[in-house]
A and B are shown apart, each in its own frame.
Chain A
């Protein structure tokens, strides 16, 4: 069943030369999505909304921003005070970054729960991790631009991570800075890259979706699509659902934008960068806290950097570390429990990342770091071998019929 391209003459004229309409219909309307997709499958489109929102607000902000150490802080305040709706633009962009991370993290944990990274979706998963890395880089670069105290010292600390690399580290950092400390050349290149990377992300999103549409979406049962009965057309079913959850997401975002605009930020970033004085507590934005905790848990400069990088890079090999034949945690009773333990582990790491590195926090941080890696290196390979999985349903359609039958008989009794 495919939706026809409209018979309109102009549409046909274009279609003959470049089949954009049939392409859009094939991927935006007729794309067969599994019938049983739940709410967790709407976070991908929310992430897309956020990417677009960040680019739109970002481009408009850049029209008023000045990437120079003498003017950056003032130009941000100029946006907040003098530019029409400038305060809305900036608060939406700053809080939008957080919202973007929220939906992307949910998106990732959904993939972990339902085994979406497993064959044949490994490349789709890789593009996803690359998107996460690009997003982190963009967020970090963007946080430097207001040139407040935390901007400056965050930039200093994070760029100094590279100095841990043996032999070339020192030179590499000087090259990154374009000087002997974080200064005007650094700010300029950070602005340039902060503007560039979101468009690289757009390209990566295209690849991510290409891979998705080639091998089709995973679903809560984790079984393959076997017949057209298992699927529904993307539009109107997914579009209406995504419209609803997207609106709810915007509601949450705007609660922060309008009523808690600085709650997620650092107060000290409203102080202009001062290269002579480090703030009392250096804390990254909340979305980096788990990784920051891992960095600090290793009592060695190079080791910490390696651990932090490995925490993300290990995701690339997850499809092979996970040896289970079954995708969805629904049919993996032990993994289902351990998934929540792993999620809790990440949340605790986030909390530790916000705490000063002293006393009991260091101990908790180390235990959680060890568990984080153990989850991937030990638990995932072993669990796949020894776990007794539950029987898988025959098909997506059959499981829906069974469920509605059960609810009917339930009603009668």
Chain B
């Protein structure tokens, strides 16, 4: 016991030792947290759409075969896109609606740049069903557009929500006209 350093010196050394260990554990904890994020982040990202899926994110559609009053569905990103060749009556009807009547106010001019062509993602904004109204015999709802049979949402001739549980208008995808009758969606 004679070899031991005096009492006070020993305790301060132990204290110093203690703070050094605290620092180490803090540093290791911080690095460990960083490492955990570094592991989890790429693992989570593996579930993102893969490169081949992203590469198919746009599709080109020839509109020449769609006559006035007719609508078609095309697949885009695994979902239907409605393309409707609207009649002048339908356009007028859509443009005459005052914005105050809409729960998600948007003018038809913004939604259908080109008037006669209305291009929509055909997925009800409520819970993802596909509204009826594209085929000739389909119910078109109270406002002459689309009607979602799942929970009774009614859309007008501009694809805007007018009645029912859906919170927003039918989504407009990004698209551009490559020429008169060729449209690129996405």
Contact = CB atoms under 8 A, between A and B. Distances in A.
Interface of A: 56-57, 60, 63-64, 78, 81-86, 88-89
9 contacts: A60-B43, A60-B47, A78-B50, A82-B51, A83-B46, A83-B50, A84-B45, A85-B45, A89-B46
**Chain A contact residues: helix, strand, loop or mixed:** helix
A69 to B, nearest CB: 21
A387 to B, nearest CB: 43
Contacts of A56: 43
A86 B47 CA distance: 9
Going nearest first, the 3 A-B pairs with the smallest beta carbon separation are A82-B50, A82-B51, A85-B42
Given A56-B43, A82-B51, A84-B46, 11 more contacts: A60-B43, A81-B51, A82-B52, A82-B53, A83-B46, A84-B42, A84-B45, A84-B50, A84-B51, A85-B45, A89-B43
Contacts of B48: 84
A302 B117 CA distance: 75
A328 B138 CA distance: 83
B11 to A, nearest CB: 22
Interface residues of B, number: 10
A60 B42 CA distance: 11
Contacts of A63: 46-47
Contacts of B50: 64, 78, 82-84, 86
Interface in B13-46: 42-43, 45-46
Nearest to A56: B43
A283 to B, nearest CB: 31
A85 B52 contact: no
A64 B42 CA distance: 15
Contacts of A64: 46, 50
A84 B51 CA distance: 7
A86 B46 contact: yes
A78 B52 contact: yes
Contacts of A57: 43
A80 to B, nearest CB: 11
Contacts of A78: 50, 52
